[in-house]
Structure 1
């Protein structure tokens, strides 16, 4: 009976039983990515890569050149796809009946989403987030100091200790220094200050590692935040030009076009982006790993001590000699 039906089904039904050739539908990379983009949670990272302000090529460069261990790389993928075992994920995605409250196990103030863990938890702000931020700043400082012949240091960034002040006949480089001005300005401590003596110019460099959806807002906030300081410095030091240069990369390694362009303006090539991206991804990896191992009781949490940063001012003759 079946043989008779199969011979008779000459494309009369969707099965087309008379066609004995097995049909394979190839799963191309484009088709897989297209399918991922349709997913509200897992596909957000891939949709972010298509944003006009994002440099897709550099955002994915770590996959080829970061040399991460397979286990670390896999965990980073899980963070990017937002499939980490957070309270929010268990409550609303897995529908775990045992999770009645999705509040963060540390700060107890916001829902415990992956975005909250890697960027918004107040308990982690002055420890883990700061350490990740400072590692990026160290990379920038070390590369600038080396490029401008201010140091000859071959130590890796994670053991590098930036000097508060470096100088030669062309450049001055300040690290995490408070700037005193006639006008009382509260936001007066950019991460790095570069002064070009031969052109009488200064650049205020500030680093940020926000959530991907906050890249643009963070960039413009940095500019407005340091605008008044930039104006006062230009007048105080009699500078020809004073620029504000935010260096922003997302906490899951998404690289905006602004980062590529601003690094080029500092005469730093694309290879530094790989170092920055790897430092950020490893920082985020450790933050999430550490967070998931924390007890639900804040009293039992043992966080790493706050990294000490240099506290100081411009040298005493700053306002006289332009230092």
Structure 2
């Protein structure tokens, strides 16, 4: 907190300094102009104009006198943010996540959408620690903190190096427990939304208390939860997370949920689309209706691909609240994993 505050104070000082120099130079007051001429002729490096010139040069700002006050303020803020981001991207460890999340395959703005939702401060700090790569894993202790550890192998599976990505999405010891609970949290949001949308039975008022039934149905829709589908020709992957039958529209929708490592989001999305193509063909032939699949993929810290929004918009009655709840569920599932493992940040 202190470091972040000092950086902000420094930026504020730089902005005020440049704006003050601009204001003085633009003034039409004779006395002010006389003082300005005196300072410009002075060799002192501590004058307002000298210091403001240094700041403008460091921010690559030229011809500042041609800007209005508002334009100059915007230009300074933009340059300061760009400079900070470039410094962050250059960091080999702390900049790894932020370099990735600003790549062409990731929707950067929506990946940070969760910051606009109500969330406990402890949860937010945990996600930032993940993104900054500063969780106190065995690998971090040995390689970064230079603390002697008996082994850098995972404390749970003893098979791979204990990194952040391994603990949050790649440990086989957590696959059937913590990862599954996180997966089902996201699935419950979607099941609750569909049930509410089509006036199907709900087990609770809020999604986080909702317990999906294997089958819920009425005259307009039917929703299957974690249900094996039967086809004339056997298909290995025949168990989508959710299946929605739209009776009036005579079409069927598959929903596949996943919360992989942030760097695996695009690949996992494509994997879900490809994996269920044989089932889509067979199930469509059996029922004589078009079948589509929607991958619902959120990285362990809420990262989404550039295509995710297009997929989610196909969900009946889709809205921003649904996206926020889906992303929040994935993030809270990750925070629960950290809490259960008792791993803090450094």
TM range (shorter): 0.7 to 0.9
The verdict on how the C-alpha distance between 1:18 and 1:119 changes in structure 2, with shifts beyond 3 A counting, is: same
Measured against aligned partners, the alpha-carbon deviations of 1:282-306 in whole angstroms (never above 9, x if no partner) come to 1111212322469xxxxxxxxxxxx
Q: Give the deviation of 1:108 after TM superposition.
A: 0.3
- Distance, in Å, in 2 between the alignment partners of 1:231 and 1:119 is 31
Aligned to 1:68: 119
Tell me if structure 1 keeps the 8 A contact 2:204–2:211. no
Tell me if structure 2 keeps the 8 A contact 1:263–1:269. no
The verdict on how the C-alpha distance between 1:187 and 1:30 changes in structure 2, with shifts beyond 3 A counting, is: same
Tell me if structure 1 keeps the 8 A contact 2:294–2:312. no
- Distance, in Å, in 1 between the alignment partners of 2:109 and 2:275 is 30
Aligned to 1:269: 319
> Computing the radius of gyration over CA atoms, which structure comes out larger, 1 or 2?
2
- Distance, in Å, in 1 between the alignment partners of 2:333 and 2:123 is 11
Aligned to 1:8: none
Aligned to 2:195: 145
Q: Which runs of 5+ in 1 are unaligned?
A: 1-15, 295-323
Tell me if structure 1 keeps the 8 A contact 2:192–2:202. no
* TM-score normalised to structure 2 length: 0.75
- Tell me the secondary structure at the aligned position of residue 203 of structure 1: strand
* TM-score normalised to structure 1 length: 0.80
- Distance, in Å, in 2 between the alignment partners of 1:207 and 1:70 is 27
Q: Which residue, out of 286, 309, 330, partners 1:260?
A: 309
Aligned to 1:209: 259
Q: How does 1:175-194 map to 2 (within 5 A)?
A: 175-194=225-244
Measured against aligned partners, the alpha-carbon deviations of 1:24-63 in whole angstroms (never above 9, x if no partner) come to 7588333222211111221122122212232222111211
Aligned to 2:85: 33
Q: Which runs of 5+ in 2 are unaligned?
A: 1-41, 56-75
- Distance, in Å, in 2 between the alignment partners of 1:34 and 1:156 is 42
Aligned length: 276
- Distance, in Å, in 1 between the alignment partners of 2:324 and 2:94 is 24
Over 4 Å off, 4+ runs: 24-27
Aligned to 2:138: 87
Q: Which has the higher contact order (CA 8 A, sep 6+)?
A: 1
- Distance, in Å, in 2 between the alignment partners of 1:257 and 1:171 is 30
- Distance, in Å, in 2 between the alignment partners of 1:36 and 1:17 is 36
Q: How does 1:109-258 map to 2 (within 5 A)?
A: 109-151=159-201, 155-239=205-289, 241-258=290-307
Q: Which has the higher helix share?
A: 2
- Tell me the secondary structure at the aligned position of residue 116 of structure 1: helix
CA RMSD of aligned residues (A): 2.1
